[in-house]
A and B are shown apart, each in its own frame.
Chain A
């Protein structure tokens, strides 16, 4: 049972962060290599709230959204928007994204060292313990948060005028612009939301693994895998991709490390990527690109006897 809960909590982290990664990919058509660091910023915001204010890490969820969202927004306005306006190619934008990642990760290292010195407590490799006075486990909170955020995001993107405009602006900027949508603002909002979701996912990481400035970077490949698996153009495909990646990694190594295979846990990260490659060979447009209804009809027609 514990392994299932661990798999679920890991998947929640991947799902929340990969939704944001997909959103930024759709807006500028580049993978944001700095997205993992936005997750780490969320984790450090939670640490600051617990150490400096003495509050529960859950109280940091809104603050983590704001902190990581603001950094994402700043990177959009200071780096990507000026480059995009100058007609930079996808390669140039990608290199800018890698550079931003290195700057953010270095800044996190400097911040961790500075806080370690000033507070005389170690700001690396930190873990959050379950609060004895808190009625819910972090698995419950992270699951509820993921469900709540996904529901709110869905309602916002599909049932509000501004949300639909945001989808329109990221899909077809020139048409959106021609009908009066401020595409620049819509992109900025997308980056704010994407960064914010990464920040929220970061709050839950220290509950299950020691966290330091490298944590988000180490998780980035899993986020990419979830986005690609879900179908890079579909925000909600990342949910499906995230749960496949998260569950397969945790449950996969649990099953493979036991008898009779006894696979070393060092191979753990290879499991979701093996599944990613295999699934992409079967469905090149990702899981959300599969026409499930047609597939089901075909399977049923083969299974059921002909009348």
Chain B
């Protein structure tokens, strides 16, 4: 098993935002984390990465207990997190951002950057530009490229298509699915566009008010009209 989350309760300081979340994920599996705004999806991602306060529960990565590890220690084990906001270094150039993404890598870094640029060719033309000058789509592309440079074993993506044009959003999501298949990466994807996410996912976790209300196969959730119409707006 790549990742096991057991009865995770987490939040910020003394405030508990999510309670008793449990799920597991294998390599080459894509888990869609869905739910209305304020349901605690982003907090769950932050807790997995060590950026939120964990009150109770365990996070096991490849059998090792990583619950209390610092974010940079988790990153060095192959867990890669792309936050929803502030996911690139604005004052650094695209090239510097990619270099920083592979901060823990040594000789193979440039080879990796070249491979990733083949997957995301528009970035080749933007290497000297500061990240703050990029458009929303270019910025998300850079954030994804930074994640891929790090050769992740587990990729955690928090709403990578937020406020993007539908065509750009579909391109990003299909690229994520391609990476999962070709590189054998486990992916946790938080996504507002439930239909798009479920069409590519193996499993789904539905959260409401900080608790999980559904965990199971993605296609099964689509067929559960009661839940999907109530919480996801899918009819």
**Which residues on A are within 8 Å of B, measured CB to CB?**
87, 161, 164-165, 167-168, 171-172, 174-183, 233
Flag if B49 contacts A167 (CB, 8 Å): no
Q: List the B side residues contacting A172 at CB < 8 Å.
A: 86, 89-90
User: Which residues does chain A contribute within 8 Å of B76, judged by CB atoms?
Assistant: 180
In the complex, chain B residues whose CB is within 8 Å of the CB of A171: 89-92
A–B pairs, 8, beta carbons within 8 Å: A87-B13, A164-B99, A168-B92, A172-B89, A178-B80, A180-B72, A181-B103, A183-B72
Is A180's CB under 8 angstroms from B70's CB?
no
A171, B89: Cα distance in complex, Å: 7
Q: Given A87-B13, A172-B89, A178-B83, are A161 and B150 neighbors across the interface (CB < 8 Å)?
A: no
B96 within 8 A of A: yes
Q: How many inter-chain contacts with C-beta < 8 Å in the A-B complex?
A: 68
A164 pairs with B92, CB closer than 8 A: yes
Interface of A is mostly: helix
B2 contacts across to A, CB distance below 8 A: none
CB distance from B206 to the nearest CB of A (A): 25
Does B100 belong to the interface (CB within 8 Å)?
Answer: yes
In the complex the two chains form, what is the Cα distance from A168 to B49 in whole Å?
Answer: 18
Contact of B104 among A174, A177, A180, A233 (CB under 8 A): A180
State the CA gap A176–B71 with chains docked (Å): 9
Q: Is the Cβ of B51 less than 8 Å from the Cβ of A161?
A: no
- Inside 8 A of B81's CB, which chain A residues have their CB? 178
Q: Which residues of B contact A168 (CB under 8 A)?
A: 89, 92, 96, 100
In the bound assembly, the distance between CA atoms of A165 and B75 in angstroms comes to: 15
The smallest C-beta distance from A88 to any residue of chain B, in angstroms, reads: 12
Within 8 Å by CB of B100, from A174, A181, A182, A233, lies A181
Chain B residues, Cβ within 8 Å of A176? 89, 100
Interface assignment of B198: CB less than 8 Å from any CB of chain A? no
Query: Closest CB of chain B to A59's CB: distance in Å?
Result: 37
Q: How far is the CB of B13 from chain A (nearest CB, A)?
A: 7
- Minimal beta-carbon separation of A26 from chain B (angstroms): 10
**B residues with CB within 8 A of A:** 13, 49, 51, 70-72, 75-76, 80-81, 83, 86-92, 96, 99-101, 103-104, 146, 150
User: A104 vs B101: C-alpha distance in the bound complex, in angstroms?
Assistant: 40
Contact status B70-A179, CB under 8 Å: no
Most buried by A among B13, B75, B150: B75
Given A161-B103, A165-B100: A178 in contact with B71 (beta carbons within 8 A)? yes
CB distance from A252 to the nearest CB of B (A): 33
Measured in the bound complex, the distance between the Cα atoms of B92 and A26 in whole Å is 15
Chain A residues with Cβ below 8 Å from B92 are 164, 167-168, 171
How distant is the Cα of A165 from the Cα of B89 in the complex, in angstroms?
A: 10
B100 and A179 form a contact (CB under 8 A): yes
| Contact flag A177-B13 (CB < 8 Å), given A164-B100, A171-B91 | no
Determine the chain B residues whose CB is within 8 A of the CB of A167 once the complex forms. Answer: 89, 91-92
The distance in angstroms between the C-alpha atoms of A193 and B46, with both chains bound, is 32
B90 near A174 (CB under 8 angstroms)?
no
Closest to A234 in B: B91
Q: Is the CB of B86 within 8 A of A174?
A: yes
Q: Is A180 within 8 A of B51, CB to CB?
A: no
Task: Tell me which of A164, A174, A181, A183 contacts B96 (CB under 8 A).
Answer: A164
State in angstroms the CA–CA spacing of A180 and B51 once bound together: 13
Q: How far is the CA of A161 from the CA of B104 in the complex (A)?
A: 10
Q: Are B103 and A165 in contact (CB under 8 A)?
A: yes
Tell me whether A178 and B51 are in contact in the complex, defined as CB-CB below 8 angstroms, given that A87-B13, A167-B91, A171-B89 are known contacts: yes
The answer on a CB contact under 8 Å between B87 and A182 is no
Task: Name the A residues within 8 Å of B72 (CB-CB).
Answer: 177-183
Taking the closest CB of chain A, its distance from the CB of B111, in whole angstroms, is: 16
Which residues of the other chain, B, contact A175 by a CB distance below 8 angstroms?
83, 86-89
A179-B146 CB under 8 A given contacts A87-B13, A174-B86: yes
